[in-house]
Amino acid sequence: MNMIKLIIDGKPIEVPSDTTILKAAKTVGIDIPTLCYFELKDMNIENRPGGCRICVVEVKGRRNLAPACNTMVAEGMEVYTHNIRVLNARRTVLELILSDHPAECLTCAKSGNCELQSMAQQLGVRELPYQGEQSKYRKDTSPAIIRDVDKCIMCRRCEMMCNDVQTVGALSAVNRGFMAVVAPAFEMNLEKSPCTYCGQCVSVCPTGALTEVDHSRNVINALADPAKTVIVQTAPAVRAALGEEFGLAPGTLVTGKMVAALRRLGFDYVFDTDFAADLTIMEEGTELLDRLTRYLKGDKDVKLPILTSCCPGWVNFFEHNFPEMRDIPSTAKSPQQMFGPIAKEYFAKKLGIDRKNMIVVSIMPCLAKKYECQRDEFKVDGDPDVNFSLSTRELAHLIKASNIDFNSLPADDFDNPLGESTGASVIFGTTGGVIEAACRTAYELYTGKKLQKVDFTELRGLENVRHATIDFDGLPINIGIAHGLGNARKLLEDIRDGKSQFHAIEIMACPGGCIGGGGQPFHHGDSSVIKQRAAALYREDAGKPIRKSHENPFIIELYKEFLGKPCGEKSHHLLHTHYFDKSAGVFVEE
């Protein structure tokens, strides 16, 4: 790589020629402010439209100011990042952006996490000298995501996530000038678009233009109702990120504190989605082995590879984009939706209460789960198996609003029987984790032998698409892993074109898996946060006494007492689902 010498704020530096001024400055501790720019390092995700002009710097000899995020370094360049011309221009740019931004910070859902708000503070804006016309676009509320484009600053991060990273194509900038908004085709509501509710647009939106549908009120009301037994389940990835909302370092495991906080909030039973994840492995693993043995016996009808189905964003994606292949994914429900019927059909009966008097709340790192729990096939006589799904962020708000000093809470344990889980289920929250958990169980069930080593490190990592071959005692099993829907699309196209060599594929919609989910605390483009969360889950797994799903004593008990055998009649009825073709003209209304 050709090295370039330049001077930034009087500091001589040397960087590779394909470096932007922004990144070059960072190497010498100069942090040029940015707004539209966004990067998740090492994950191949970058947005630099050079649109907002907050990052402008002066380059000696250049007539106009240069956007640092989008200007490459050049030999002998002299850059000034905070002289008076730059500071004035930067402030004016921000004042103009604010001139038509609703001043609703007091009540805005994004307040405190808003990058525009922080920028106004950082640049010391104390008055708004320009009063522009205000945009009055309708609010669009879908089952999971709210679009309030009056607050949009056209940074195009959501568009980049939706199109380049996820290849969903629900959002695009439309119209021009003052009328320009980011919207689905024909400015239909999100619900009529191919949106998967993965929530990655929400996780990168710098303002309150894209937020989640908040169900905390419903949960507060349920908790206050003495006639209801309210139980809660917590997804694996939540415990590795919730602490961030209370100032703890990314990757701090707060499992015990989280359980204690939920109990103080007044939930009657604090259970674990991890228990349902173990159940998922029993069902999905059995299905994999069944398809595999039939395939090896020469059954031509059997569909391989089998695809995991625990990610609702991913389910939405193939229902919209690959409906002709919807018999390939496992029919196993996601852990959230496995937990629901076990709670309402098994546990409620144990307690001797009617399912309608039981409220099941899930705490999820995910926004697609909000939509998933509202799907008709997951209801019995209109009563949903899972009533409300809260994001990690909503739980944090709920804890704060209930006067609970989270950091001083002593660790507490989950309730039984639906709170016991294994290490296998904990790693469901990170890319590669589901398939590793499945391998631990499938290997032992298939070979009848004990695994010497339960860690399948070859399945771990953050590369976009990974593959590994696992030796099932002489039978090589080819495994594929993709996180991020754009990567999933590549694997699906290979299957469609008959080029796939895999027996099993794990797919998670969000970059990094659930730890990077749309409902997690905002990482603000710091990919090390995601890596720390993954490391935390692997740590929790390593510390568990039981690390294989089929050895969970309460799972064994559940099958003995209630379900029968994996993929048996009762399991099929309660724990498996079917998929729909959602590709047909969703845009144009009659």
Q: Is position 377 annotated as part of the catalytic site?
A: yes
CB of 115 to other proteins, least distance (A): 24
Choice from 33, 49, 194, 285 touching other proteins (CB under 8 A): 194
Record the tokens describing residue 375, joined without a space: 């799907």
Q: Contact at 8 Å (CB) between 166 and 158?
A: no
Q: Count CB-CB contacts under 10 A for residue 342.
A: 24
Kindly list the distances between the CA atom of residue 455 and the CA atoms of 157, 278, 279, 369, 549, in Å, as whole numbers in the listed order: 37, 17, 20, 29, 14
Q: Contact at 8 Å (CB) between 160 and 170?
A: no
Choice from 174, 248, 451, 535 touching other proteins (CB under 8 A): 174
In which region does residue 102 sit, left (phi positive, over 0), alpha (psi from -120 to 50) or beta (all else)? Answer: beta
Report the SS3 class of residue 136: coil
Q: Count CB-CB contacts under 10 A for residue 92.
A: 13
Considering 69, 373, 514, 567, which one is annotated as catalytic? 514
**Which positions from 315 through 354 interact with other proteins, judged by CB under 8 A?**
none
Q: Is position 310 annotated as part of the catalytic site?
A: yes
Choice from 171, 265, 398, 409 touching other proteins (CB under 8 A): 171
Considering 58, 212, 287, 319, which one is annotated as catalytic? 287
**Which positions from 134 through 163 interact with other proteins, judged by CB under 8 A?**
163
Q: Is position 369 annotated as part of the catalytic site?
A: yes
The Cα 164–Cα 168 span in angstroms is 8
- Give the closest residue to 487 by CA, choosing from 190, 168, 171: 168
Choice from 184, 285, 341, 432 touching other proteins (CB under 8 A): 184
Q: Is position 394 annotated as part of the catalytic site?
A: no
Query: Which residues are paired to 147 by β-bridges?
Result: 140, 210
CB of 237 to other proteins, least distance (A): 29
Kindly list the distances between the CA atom of residue 45 and the CA atoms of 41, 113, 462, in Å, as whole numbers in the listed order: 7, 21, 13
Nearer to other proteins, 140 or 274 (CB): 140
Under rule CB under 8 A, residue 589 binds other proteins: yes
Question: How many residues bind other proteins, per CB under 8 A?
Answer: 22
CB of 25 to other proteins, least distance (A): 33
Q: Is position 287 annotated as part of the catalytic site?
A: yes
Among 94-102, 173-181, 425-433, 554-562, which window interacts with other proteins (CB under 8 A)? Answer: 173-181
Report the SS3 class of residue 275: helix
Choice from 155, 170, 399, 427 touching other proteins (CB under 8 A): 170
Among 170-178, 198-206, 305-313, 427-435, which window interacts with other proteins (CB under 8 A)? Answer: 170-178
Choice from 18, 41, 62, 186 touching other proteins (CB under 8 A): 186
Record the tokens describing residue 280, joined without a space: 């998922």
Consecutive H or E run containing 89: helix 84-99
Residue that the structure tokens 């069944």 belong to: 290
Q: Is position 514 annotated as part of the catalytic site?
A: yes
Considering 39, 245, 283, 284, which one is annotated as catalytic? 284
Residue that the structure tokens 């002066």 belong to: 58
**Which positions from 530 through 569 interact with other proteins, judged by CB under 8 A?**
none
Nearer to other proteins, 291 or 489 (CB): 489
Considering 330, 421, 425, 571, which one is annotated as catalytic? 330
The Cα 149–Cα 171 span in angstroms is 12
Q: Is the peptide bond before 305 cis (omega within 30 degrees of 0)?
A: yes
Under rule CB under 8 A, residue 447 binds other proteins: no
Under rule CB under 8 A, residue 585 binds other proteins: yes
Report the SS3 class of residue 214: coil
The Cα 53–Cα 529 span in angstroms is 27
Considering 244, 283, 372, 394, which one is annotated as catalytic? 372
Choice from 7, 72, 123, 185 touching other proteins (CB under 8 A): 185
Report the SS3 class of residue 576: strand
Choice from 193, 255, 309, 387 touching other proteins (CB under 8 A): 193
Kindly list the distances between the CA atom of residue 170 and the CA atoms of 22, 158, 187, 213, 417, in Å, as whole numbers in the listed order: 30, 10, 10, 18, 41
Under rule CB under 8 A, residue 1 binds other proteins: no
Considering 75, 187, 324, 377, which one is annotated as catalytic? 377
CB of 321 to other proteins, least distance (A): 10
Nearer to other proteins, 321 or 527 (CB): 321
Q: Give the residue numbers annotated as catalytic, written as ranges.
A: 284, 287, 310, 330, 369, 372, 377, 514
Residues binding other proteins (CB under 8 A): 163, 168-176, 183-187, 193-194, 585, 587-590
